[in-house]
Amino acid sequence: MALSGVEIFKHLPKTNCKKCGHPTCLAFAMKLAAKQASLDACPDASEDAKKILGESAAPPIRGITIGTGDKAVKVGDEICLFRHEKKFFNPNAFAVAIKASEAGDAAAKKIEAVKTSEIDRVGQKLRVDAIAVTDEGGDAAKFASVVKQVVDGAPGVPIILVSKIPATIEAGIAHCADKKPLIYAATAENAEAMAKIAKEKKASLAVAAEGLDALTALSEKVKAMGVDDLVLDSGARKAKDMIEHFTIIRRAAIKKNFKPLGYPVITFATRDNSVAETMIAAIATMKYGSIVVVNNVEKWKMLALLSLRQNIYTDPQVPMQVAQNIYKVGDAKENSPLMITTNFSLSYFIVRGEVENSKVPSWLAVMDNEGLSVLTAWAAGKFTASKIAQFVADSGVEKNITHKELIIPGYVAVLSGALEEKLPGWKITVGPREANQLPTFLKARA
């Protein structure tokens, strides 16, 4: 039975330490009761409290981890419908399908593509997360050989075993039982056998049914068989059906705490047409898909999907920021130009990228403005002449350079006069308004 906020409060430490992000333990208890927080956020909750709070403390969508080690992916464990209500916690996983018929060279190419899929975007490493080995014709030996190829060729990459035939799953899981794979899938026809394998091997299990009613019934049935870590597939494959089903599942879990649908969702975006596949995978990413399977790793496709995912799963209440520092770009020397910008990640990476493009070694002073962009920080009074002057004085940058010239962003040209007053002996130069004008600007000075 669900506990009230006050009942939950009785079991919290009552120190109001704020480590959970809430001002008081009572406020946190209210959020727990409303399923808008997870007990994990309180580092001081006792083991007794965890036990007693049980279901009340559990997030409405169960968190499932696939794989082990540093490449393991966690999906689910979400507490809100819309990102602005709090944030989305665990980005959806992208998995690439390798068919049993691709055993050998074709599989090797895909494995290599997964291993080299990592991109660096605004300071975060993004990559394809998992491989879904897919049985087509019930050839258990071939299926198992591809599983082995994946285990050997991509150590640590989480594996999804895709077959409706229990004997085929057993053949495949023999090579990866210690790697916490996800089994796909239990159906109305094979549920007992699949649940048995999942329990024995401590694997997660997807349940697949056509439609939400059948899915609810199957989820309850498999849970009753003792499998806790479930993933749902309602059979929706068209964009319209996916949005409808995934939204209903999410709403039922979050708003009604409806346990049979309180699990992550898997979908197969796999299409022969890459553009169509990308569109479907994007829709799944935007609307509550937790695991999205695609056919292959094409650089353009993954750039689009990983960037979209990064944007959706960025905490809207915390601007992305980099550390305040004086950054060296290229082989900067004491006579190299010195520019200043704010510590909003996008500002930093865009400016830095353009300075690198210019091939003019430079110093980049990045000032902590709580992650605000230049104009916003200026408008908020956090990028003023006084504050910039104080930062320059405290930064120790004068030890690195022999000149006293500071280049400020063109958007805050209005600060140049006041800055020269606050930084006696310094020349303030107004740089370009847009970062993409920096290479021309810097080369003209070199």
5 binds ligand SF4 (CB under 6 A): no
18 binds ligand SF4 (CB under 6 A): yes
| 41 or 350: CB nearest ligand SF4 | 41
In this complex, which beta carbon is closest to ligand SF4, that of residue 22 or of residue 245?
A: 22
> What Rg do the C-alpha atoms of the chain give, in angstroms?
26
How far apart are CB 44 and ligand SF4 at their closest, in Å? Answer: 5
DSSP output for 333-361: -TTS-EEEEE-BHHHHHHHHHHHHHHT--
Contacts of 331 (CB under 8 A, 6+ apart): 361
Q: Are 133 and 172 in contact (CB under 8 A)?
A: yes
Q: Which is nearer to ligand SF4, 46 or 335 (CB)?
A: 46
CB atoms within 10 A of CB 278: 20
| The amino acid at 383 | F
Which CB sits closer to ligand SF4, 18 or 445?
Answer: 18
Name the one range near ligand SF4 by CB under 6 A: 12-20, 182-190, 256-264, 424-432: 12-20
DSSP 215-274: HHHHHHHHHHTT---EEEE----SHHHHHHHHHHHHHHHHHH--GGG-S-BEEE---SSH
| Residue 166 touching ligand SF4 (CB under 6 A) | no
With binding defined as CB under 6 A, does residue 46 bind ligand SF4? Answer: no
Minimum Å gap between C-beta 42 and ligand SF4 is 3
| Contact of 288 with 247, CB cutoff 8 Å | yes
Task: Identify residues 26-45 at the interface with ligand SF4 (CB under 6 A).
Answer: 28, 42, 44
Dist CA 428 CA 422 (whole Å): 11
Of the ranges 21-29, 74-82, 90-98, 244-252, which one interacts with ligand SF4 (CB under 6 A)? Answer: 21-29
17 belongs to the binding site for ligand SF4 (CB under 6 A): yes
With binding defined as CB under 6 A, does residue 11 bind ligand SF4?
no
C-beta of 24 vs 65, nearer to ligand SF4: 24
Position 264, amino acid = P
What the block records as the tokens of 203 is 């694997």
| 11 vs 422 by CB, closer to ligand SF4 | 11
Q: Nearer to ligand SF4 by C-beta: 6 or 17?
A: 17
Distance in angstroms between the alpha carbons of the first and the last residue of the chain:
71
Among 20, 95, 96, 401, binds ligand SF4 (CB under 6 A): 20
Q: Which residues bind ligand SF4 (CB under 6 A)?
A: 12-13, 15-20, 22, 25, 28, 42, 44
